[in-house]
Amino acid sequence: MENHLLFYILLALIPALETSDFFITPFRNIKKRSADDLIVNGIEIYSMKIDSKVTSRFAHNVITSRAVNRANVSKEVVFDVDLPKTAFITNFSMTIDGVTYPGTIKEKEVAKKQYEKAVSRGQTAGLVRASGRKTEKFTVSVNIAAASKVTFELTYEELLKRNFGKYEMLIKVKPKQLINHFEIQANIFEPQGISELEAQGSFITNDLSQVIKKSFSGKKGHVSFKPTIDQQRTCANCSTSLLDGDFTIKYDVKRDSPGDLQIVNGYFVHFFAPTNLPNFPKNVVFVIDISGSMSGIGIQQTREALLKILEDIREDDYFNFILFGSDVHIWKDTLVKATAENLKEAKDFVRAIDTRGMTNLHGGLMKGIEMLTTAFETNSVPKRSASIIILLTDGQPNEGVSDPQAIQANVKKAIQGRYPLYNLAFGYGIDYNFLEKMALENKGVARRIYPDSDSAIQMEGFYEEVANPMLTEVELNYPENAISDLTQNNFKHYYDGSEIVVAGRITDNDLNSLTADVKAQGAENDVTFSEQADVEETAKALQEQEYIFGDYIERLWAYLTIQQLLEKRTVAQGEEKENLTAEALELSLKYKFVTPLTSMVVTKPEDNEDKAAIADKPVEGTAKAAPGTQSYPTHSYLYSSPSIPSLYTSVDGDPHFIISVPQKEDAICFNINEETGAVLNLINDPVTGIRVNGQLIGDKRVSSDAKIQNTYFGKLGIENKQLELKLEVTPEKITLQKGRKKTVFTWLDTVTLRQEGLTVIINRKKNLVLSMGDGASFVIVLHQVWKKHPLHQDFLGLYTLDSHKLSERTHGLLGQ
């Protein structure tokens, strides 16, 4: 279940500055209201078009950008696109002066070998992939000669999910300069008929609102946005573009019946979204982490979210709170009904929640499961009710049962498939893969909550998605002798405003019609639905060529199948995992999807030699660090990268730098190659008095196949002159000096130290959290390797949270 169901594009086709290593777009020294208005650093982007065709919720999107080098020397052009995390890239090409350089999709290991071979020739640079909350970035650059033209074309596909009763397509528009021909075209075809369609933009002025054209009739809907150059200007005489923000399209379909069956070219899809059903009363157990690492913004936003959720709980719901630090604390001995009196008492309890101790995640979860189980066994909750467990945590289990595999096994055994487990991962100091696997094993999902000013809204938004269960134990059945390769067809809950989608392949070539039978438990009684589709009638949709792209149902089936195989692969082991991997890889290659198992190899001309680059599908929660290290949210630029929150910078690994660009959901990415022993100035803020330095260490020896020695941070120092604070951290010890008092800790210690304007939390053998009043917070992560490893040694990673609280005068490798 995605937090936002969207169709999300960030567009930036930008000339790179010759005077900087970073990715910056200048808007200075440009003549007003002339042809020069369209030229930045010698490059004119004369056309940018987003062409989207949505057929039966399946979106096929083509982004085309055209540029010309108006300078009399060669220039670099950068094509930058943000895609939805749920999307798969299917094609990319660039055409330079009539010659096309296509991307080819290959198995990841094959692409990796090609990449490494090119690296050995000194010819290759990887595509930098950085992820925002909702997006993944695709970036490619190319040098073009004077007067040359280049056309970039990227295609991707995704299945739009229904959330809160609507399908939402969110296009983030950011061309960063005036464009002669800028256009968004969205054509929607829904065989059920379109019931509503709206379009708006966060950057739309009164004048621009007239430029948005939208219409729908019957099965077709159309949205276009085509501003002139003058309409793009931030002011009458300005050369900058006001096209900077979200362009949103929302729609829904007519629902004359609970569902809709469609059949095209031997494949079928079944959309099931009944309306006007009574909601189940629900039983909710909130299992909340109150360990020391949740102090500050974490617990503050959690309290705020829970208070808002209590406002929305219905009077026939039952609920309770389980808090876990070192110990487990419960609000009430049993689940209680949401009466006015109980809700008032609950709000008082929530306002008083504070942090303490370590992270006994296992104890908290097991207590929550036990409480739900007891409630049903003692009939203290309605027999017909929907139960869910919502876990919120920000750290690694380090008290009680702390082994992730043991926790997963115990939780699965205790739940026994009776209710879904939803895991919310707050921030980055947590093993996201562990939470995701545990949720999927128990018919739930995992979701990352980004540590930012809107964390409470993120938590509330997730709760709203699961707040209104209408059906439980939903099973969709089809004639066994007529279909095969069915996607998931049983679901624990159906929530109001969502939609269940099942697809499959038809094996009976003589089939004239297909029948679907749906069985489920309703709030008042068991319910059944039956639907039928005529093969010839649904095939008529192919006649609508203007709105239809190819065998869309077959591609929808492949997309859905791959997504579900990858989910199953997350929890599988051994031979089962190998078989799921092979099946997902085969489909990814057949339908040309860039998935976590495949890569797109992009070949481009560079100084008369081919230069290959690799585009990969990032995976939430994965990390690339030295072999044998603990996982943490490090960022890999060759093969995958996890999500980056909007206000988050880091240096980790060999050392890879991520610098977020505030307000832009974007990031600058770069590496530093220095000798071991070098001291790097990472942050220096003369206003707040904060300074951060790091000293490099290397591998124990240079491996035989390495061109240069890998380097990591072996020592980090943080100083705050205003607080008279000095902190020095190595993989062996932690030295804290406040004023004249010096204290030495080891990584075997568990410490929570609070003084005026200062909080230091040491999570044993995991990480150190340093918060300095209203200033920026830092997390230092300990990466440990096997002590007898022939190459690698322990090293540190630095993560800067709330970096917007540093002053504008901040400099240093991260600070600047």
HEC states along 466-503?
Answer: CCCEEEEEEEEECCCCCEECCCCCEEEEEECCCCEEEE
pLDDT tens profile 127-146: 535 456 777 778 777 888 89
Q: Angle 421-277-495 (CA atoms, 0-180°, nearest 5)?
A: 25
- Beta bridge partner(s), residue 528: 519
- 233: which DSSP letter? B
- 122: which DSSP letter? T
pLDDT tens profile 29-52: 333 445 677 888 889 999 999 999
**Confidence band, pLDDT 50/70/90 cuts, at residue 667:** very low
C-alpha–C-alpha distance, residues 279 and 710, integer Å: 57
Torsion, Cα of 689, 692, 693, 699 (10° steps)? 170
- Report the mean per-residue pLDDT for the chain: 82
Tokens matching residue 61: 């999107």
C-alpha–C-alpha distance, residues 246 and 62, integer Å: 18
C-alpha–C-alpha distance, residues 603 and 611, integer Å: 6
- 38: which DSSP letter? G
Tokens matching residue 327: 């110990």
Q: In the prediction, which pLDDT does 785 show?
A: 72
DSSP string, 738-769: ETTEEEEEETT--EEEEETTEEEEEETTTEEE
Q: Do residues 718 and 778 make contact, with C-beta atoms less than 8 angstroms apart?
A: yes
Q: In the prediction, which pLDDT does 658 show?
A: 57
Q: In the prediction, which pLDDT does 396 show?
A: 86
**Confidence band, pLDDT 50/70/90 cuts, at residue 290:** very high
C-alpha–C-alpha distance, residues 537 and 790, integer Å: 67
The answer as to whether 81 is a domain residue is no
Q: Do residues 51 and 121 make contact, with C-beta atoms less than 8 angstroms apart?
A: no
**Confidence band, pLDDT 50/70/90 cuts, at residue 17:** very low
- Domain end position, chosen among 467, 500, 527: 467
Q: Do residues 161 and 85 make contact, with C-beta atoms less than 8 angstroms apart?
A: no
Q: Is 277 helix (H, G, I), strand (E, B) or coil?
A: coil
The answer as to whether 433 is a domain residue is yes
- Beta bridge partner(s), residue 223: 186, 214
Number of domains in the chain: 2
Tokens matching residue 3: 């937090």
**Confidence band, pLDDT 50/70/90 cuts, at residue 554:** very high
The answer as to whether 543 is a domain residue is no
Q: Do residues 731 and 715 make contact, with C-beta atoms less than 8 angstroms apart?
A: no
The answer as to whether 368 is a domain residue is yes
DSSP string, 158-211: EEPPEETTEEEEEEEE--SS--SEEEEEEEEE-TT-EEEEEEEETT--HHHHTT
pLDDT tens profile 222-271: 999 999 999 999 888 888 888 888 888 999 999 989 999 998 888 999 99
- The predicted model gives 337-346 an average pLDDT of 96
Q: Do residues 560 and 487 make contact, with C-beta atoms less than 8 angstroms apart?
A: yes
Domain enclosing residue 336, as ranges: 282-467
If phi > 0 it is left, if psi is from -120 to 50 it is alpha, else beta; for residue 443 that is left
Sequence letter at residue 336: V
Q: In the prediction, which pLDDT does 226 show?
A: 95
The answer as to whether 273 is a domain residue is no
**Whole-prediction pTM:** 0.73
pLDDT tens profile 672-722: 667 788 888 888 888 888 889 989 888 777 654 445 567 888 999 999 888
Q: Does the pLDDT value for residue 409 go beyond 90?
A: yes
DSSP H or E run through 118: helix 108-120
- The predicted model gives 328-348 an average pLDDT of 96
Q: Do residues 65 and 11 make contact, with C-beta atoms less than 8 angstroms apart?
A: yes
Tokens matching residue 315: 């009077």
Q: Angle 64-68-70 (CA atoms, 0-180°, nearest 5)?
A: 160
- 523: which DSSP letter? S
- Domain end position, chosen among 430, 451, 467: 467
- The predicted model gives 445-473 an average pLDDT of 90
Q: Do residues 450 and 133 make contact, with C-beta atoms less than 8 angstroms apart?
A: yes
- The predicted model gives 506-519 an average pLDDT of 88
**Among candidate residues 755, 798, 729, 752, the one with its CA nearest the CA of residue 398:** 752
Q: Does the pLDDT value for residue 372 go beyond 70?
A: yes
The answer as to whether 356 is a domain residue is yes
The answer as to whether 681 is a domain residue is yes
CA atoms within 13 A on the CB side of 393: 30
**Among candidate residues 98, 91, 86, the one with its CA nearest the CA of residue 2:** 86
Q: Do residues 197 and 251 make contact, with C-beta atoms less than 8 angstroms apart?
A: yes
DSSP string, 544-604: -TTT--SSHHHHHHHHHHHHHHHHHHHH--HHHHHHHHHHHHHHHHHTT---TTEEEEEEE
Q: Does the pLDDT value for residue 89 go beyond 60?
A: yes
Q: In the prediction, which pLDDT does 815 show?
A: 57
Length of the chain counted residue by residue:
816
Q: Which residue has the higher pLDDT, 134 or 117?
A: 134
Q: In the prediction, which pLDDT does 786 show?
A: 65
Q: Does the pLDDT value for residue 671 go beyond 90?
A: no
The answer as to whether 730 is a domain residue is yes
- Domain end position, chosen among 443, 467, 491: 467
- 35: which DSSP letter? G
Q: Does the pLDDT value for residue 767 go beyond 70?
A: yes
- 630: which DSSP letter? P
In whole angstroms, what separates CA 180 from the centre of its chain? 33
DSSP H or E run through 313: none
Q: Does the pLDDT value for residue 385 go beyond 50?
A: yes
Q: In what order do the strands lie in the sheet with 526-534?
A: 490-495, 469-477, 513-522, 526-534
CATH of the domain at 297: 3.40.50.410
**Among candidate residues 551, 365, 543, 531, the one with its CA nearest the CA of residue 442:** 365
Q: Angle 199-204-205 (CA atoms, 0-180°, nearest 5)?
A: 135
C-alpha–C-alpha distance, residues 481 and 511, integer Å: 11
Q: How large is the angle between the packed helices 432-441 and 404-415, nearest 10 degrees?
A: 20
pLDDT tens profile 611-659: 556 667 777 765 433 323 333 332 222 222 223 233 346 666 555 565 5
